Amino acid sequence: MVSLRCTTAHHSLLGSPTCLAGPRRRARPVVRAAAAVEAGAQAKVSLIRIGTRGSQLALAQAYETRDKLKAAHSELAEEGAIEIVIIKTTGDIVLDKPLADIGGKGLFTKEIDEALLNGMIDIAVHSMKDVPTYLPEGTILPCNLPREDVRDAFISLTANSLGELPAGSIIGSASLRRQSQILRRYPSLKVVNFRGNVQTRLKKLEAGGVHATLLALAGLKRLNVAESATSLLSVDEMLPAVAQGAIGIACRSNDDKMMEYLSSLNHEDTRLAVSCEREFLAVLDGNCRTPIAAYAYRDKDGNCSFRGLLASPDGSKVYETARSGPYSFDDMVAMGKDAGHELKAKAGPDFFDHLQHLQ
């Protein structure tokens, strides 16, 4: 595992951390008011070490977590109280293959989970859509921050929407969920693998090779580049990924102090919606080869409305379902589970066998 330690005490206006390879180093003496830290004194131990991937989006999410912790707890507002540790994951290292071809689950979380269990970090900040439906033994995910906009953004230099693209146009996307829903509505379009972080994909689009791409609006907003979107797709046009737009924060299950800190940040509406969607995903045992989409939200009457989708990668087979019920944990988990079983039965074993053979 490659780990980069990033201290947050000194950063640019964008909050960019100073990354140091290898173990923690002693800090230089720092003058505070009239008192100077004695030469050679060991740096103050951070109260919380936040583990994160190193992309700009992942760091933006880690900074959001850090800032909320500082605002909620005065002791964490002290200089050096919170440290950010960057950890490279398998998904970050292997960039020349589609995610489905790398195989396995937890491509963007496994190494961070290991760092958490090994005590290298105290909490882990994840994009919830990257988190497998199971959590490693010894970890818990007690906190979701308020969910961002779940819609996907259409980005193109030549068209205003998917419907305006001429037949044969090429869409760049690494998501089979997006691919299946695009091809279902626009079978004359072509979808090709298009990996990399947000900035990389925007640069690839500008360089040509594809006519358009789709990105999560949540990521664009967190990076303050929402103006890059040409147009937005409604959830009726493009049902989002499970937990899209949600940030999850994990800690060790025996770390009462971290759980106390995280409980103060938890947004319960988001946690319940994400739990509903993840239960749906768990029943379908979804992975990177299974196009699955789901969205649970509180409707105008205060109830939970849920929609789920299961599809073949080419969009030729699409199974959908919808539910509504009380906005409570038990009811919403049951709702997601029931919806998953419905679509699993509708698709039948041959559908899943076919997906397995694609591997």
User: CA-CA distances (angstroms) from residue 33 to 4, 30, 37, 40, 135?
Assistant: 31, 10, 11, 19, 46
Neighbours of 202 (CB within 10 A): 18
What span, in angstroms and rounded, lies between the C-alpha atoms of 53 and 75?
25
Q: Read out DSSP for 28-93?
A: PP-EETTEEPPTTPPPPPPSEEEEE-SSHHHHHHHHHHHHHHHHH-GGGGSTTSEEEEEE--HHHH
Is 331 catalytic? The answer is: no
Catalytic pick among 92, 113, 122, 130: 130
The tokens of 118 are what?
């090994």
* Phi-psi region at 209: left, alpha or beta (left = phi > 0; alpha = psi -120 to 50): left
The contacts of residue 307 (CB under 8 Å, 6+ apart) are 235, 239, 294, 295, 320, 321, 322
The tokens of 236 are what?
């009726």
Catalytic residues: 130
